[in-house]
Amino acid sequence: MRLLPLFAAISLILAATGVARADDAPAAPARVVVRAAHLVDVQSGTVRDNPLVVIDGEQITEVRYDGQVPAGAKVIDLGSATLLPGLIDCHVHLTGDPGEIKGDYYEAILKRSAIDSAILSPIYAKRTLDAGFTTVRNLGASDYVDVALRNAINRGDIPGPRMLVSGPPLGATGGHADDTTGFSPWIEFHSVDGVADGVDAIRHRIRENVKNGADVIKFMASAGVLSAETSVGAPQYSQEEMNAIVDEAHRWGKKVAAHAHGAEAIKMAIRAGVDSVEHSSMIDDEGLKLAKQHGTYLDFDVYNDDYILSEYTKKGFPASTIDKERLVGRTQRENFQRAVGAGEKLAFGTDAGVYPHGWNGKQFATMTKWGMTPMQSIQAATVNAADLLGMKDKVGAVATGHYADLVAVGGDPIKDITQLQHVAFVMKGGTVEKNELNR
């Protein structure tokens, strides 16, 4: 008990010292201006010269081109660089990475848990942010690890992109969300997953996800590639079940993303009213028409086929998985080209986590190879993506009232889209997270 006065005295001294240091510290500048040679204006689809982006706190308060820096503002001069809005990836998995699998497919499945994911996911979040992606939508994570990651980033505990998260994705027993598929029935996996069958169970599962912090609802409308089902695209929920998913999610104010490779599953999901179809690999003409009629966004993860076919055999994945990827890879890219030509609503989604985090920018080159202009591919990852996420008044453009999310590259991404694989400057919410231009 005699130690209590001593502790009290120490606390008073520390408090007094802290106050003195706070008083002595120079006041932060009220205003920051980011200056560069060029700005990709994604709202108008043009490139403008000599922008001055005026920032107060987290927000952009003005974008001007008169060369006049407001008095007292701190200037971040990026020289000859080109500015863009912070990039958005609408389909990532920040709680996993193929780098976890060291030549043994079963290592990650049987020897790792949600604890491993929780420990490693901040690394993947930082890599994604450093790659210029300041906002992401995380579509699928067991045990609500993505919710905890989002919350830690929002609190400022760790660096990472702004996140919308789904928690465990919904799926049918034996389907793409069922981790026990292909294993002995005597092996038990103890985790929170999204397996649910029938309308009542589905509604309950959605309410559980919302209760535990989900921003968006994801479900498996079809079979998949990186799971043990024989099919890659067959529907795995009935139309009645898909309708219930969308009805319940929208009742709670949550958008819905449907994993769907097969043509029929895609059409069923669109008819149910989903906000986006992920992968969209085998979409047919009727599916394209339905998507346009319903205003449904399509996300084509057209880069990762290269990585899966070149690396997954080395990592010990079953031959059936590689065969399924061969079935959908080329078809998906051809259908992406058709979707571009049809003027569909397309957003940028990579499925990062299937390939290494931080490589998200590699998809821009694949998108331009298969039909998009460089500007269209950038708009898919900015204004279009922001619209899909319901955040078009906050992110996806360098505009007054938006978060001060900025990235910069050394060259001209309109002439060379691979510049976006080498983002040199990243600002998120007015805070510089990376700057390799002024070293």
Domain boundaries, the chain: 32-85+398-435, 87-360
161, 121 Cβ separation under 8 angstroms: no
Average pLDDT rounded to a whole number, residues 30-41: 95
**Confidence category of residue 126, pLDDT binned at 50, 70, 90:** very high
Q: What is the pLDDT of residue 9?
A: 41
Helix (H, G, I), strand (E, B) or coil at 145: helix
3 DSSP assignment: H
Report the distance separating Cα 101 and Cα 104, nearest Å: 6
For 335-349, write each residue's pLDDT tens digit.
999 999 999 999 999
pTM: predicted TM-score of the whole model, two decimal places: 0.89
Q: What is the pLDDT of residue 313?
A: 75
Average pLDDT rounded to a whole number, residues 141-158: 96
Sign, CA torsion 226/230/232/238: negative
365, 417 Cβ separation under 8 angstroms: yes
CATH number at 32-85+398-435: 2.30.40.10
> 375: Cβ–Cβ under 8 A, 6 or more apart, which residues?
40, 42, 45, 414
For 65-118, write each residue's pLDDT tens digit.
999 999 999 999 999 999 999 999 999 999 987 655 545 656 666 667 778 889
Q: List the one residue out of 109, 111, 105, 141 whose CA is nearest residue 124.
A: 141
CATH number at 87-360: 3.20.20.140
Q: List the one residue out of 252, 275, 260 whose CA is nearest residue 389.
A: 275
**Confidence category of residue 25, pLDDT binned at 50, 70, 90:** very low
Average pLDDT rounded to a whole number, residues 349-364: 95
Sign, CA torsion 357/422/276/150: positive
**pLDDT reading at 153 higher than 70:** yes
**pLDDT reading at 59 higher than 50:** yes
**Confidence category of residue 228, pLDDT binned at 50, 70, 90:** low
317 vs 164, residue with greater confidence: 164
Strands (E), 14-132: 32-35, 38-41, 46-49, 52-56, 59-64, 74-77, 82-85, 87-92
Q: What is the pLDDT of residue 200?
A: 97
**Confidence category of residue 22, pLDDT binned at 50, 70, 90:** very low
Alpha carbon of residue 164 to chain centroid: 8
**Confidence category of residue 179, pLDDT binned at 50, 70, 90:** low
